[in-house]
Amino acid sequence: MSTLTAAPAQGVDIGDPVRLRRAFGAFATGVTVVTVGGDTPRGMTANSFTSVSLDPALVLLCVGKEALMHRALAEADTFSVSVLESGQEAVARHFADRSRPVGAQQFDAVDWLPGGVFDAPLIAGAAAHFECAKWRAYDGGDHTIHLGRVISMAELPDREPLVFHRGRFRPLAVPAQGGTP
């Protein structure tokens, strides 16, 4: 049985966005690019993504209400998610850059594939792809929580995911074969 080395902080102001973001950053997440198709395709780096249900197959993502992707998702019936591979930090940075071009031009800087079921672009070389139909959307404070029903998926099991932890992109540290975690 372990013991705490320090007591939890008492009376910390959770209204301080810098401290709150830093505390949330202690939780390592995968990194994805969420895309929508249509006349004005759009992509966005997102780490607020998770599986929700196997039956039906559902995923969840959260998008800030101030993001251009927020409106794009509100108007779309479908979206896709590419789970980035450890060597795709430049792709993550590109789709996080608010100064990138809008529409199809933003995809000129990356390798991408057309969706197999829907028209949302998929990032080539990603560890996994999910093509989703919108299921539900919920208010989540300054974000909207989107649930999508997975219609199609693909994975490349030999690809290690890109991870975001404490404000930095990192490869997933995997022990050598025969080692212990």
- For residue 2, being part of any structural domain is answered with no
- For residue 6, being part of any structural domain is answered with no
- For residue 172, being part of any structural domain is answered with no
- For residue 62, being part of any structural domain is answered with yes
Cα separations in angstroms, 122 against 29, 58, 79, 117, 180? 20, 18, 10, 11, 34
pLDDT tens track, the chain, 181 positions:
555 555 555 656 677 788 877 777 667 788 999 999 999 999 999 989 999 999 999 999 999 999 999 999 999 999 999 999 999 999 999 999 999 999 999 999 999 999 999 999 999 999 999 999 999 999 999 999 999 999 999 999 889 999 988 888 887 766 666 555 5
Length of the chain: 181
- What's the structural domain count of the chain? 1
Is the link from the previous residue into 121 a cis peptide, with omega within 30 of 0?
no
Q: What is the CATH number of the domain that holds 114?
A: 2.30.110.10
- For residue 126, being part of any structural domain is answered with yes
- For residue 11, being part of any structural domain is answered with no
User: Domain range spanning residue 51?
Assistant: 40-165
- For residue 3, being part of any structural domain is answered with no
Where does residue 170 rank: exposed (0-12), middle (13-18), buried (19+ CB within 10 A)?
Answer: middle
Q: pTM higher than 0.75 for the full model?
A: yes
- For residue 178, being part of any structural domain is answered with no
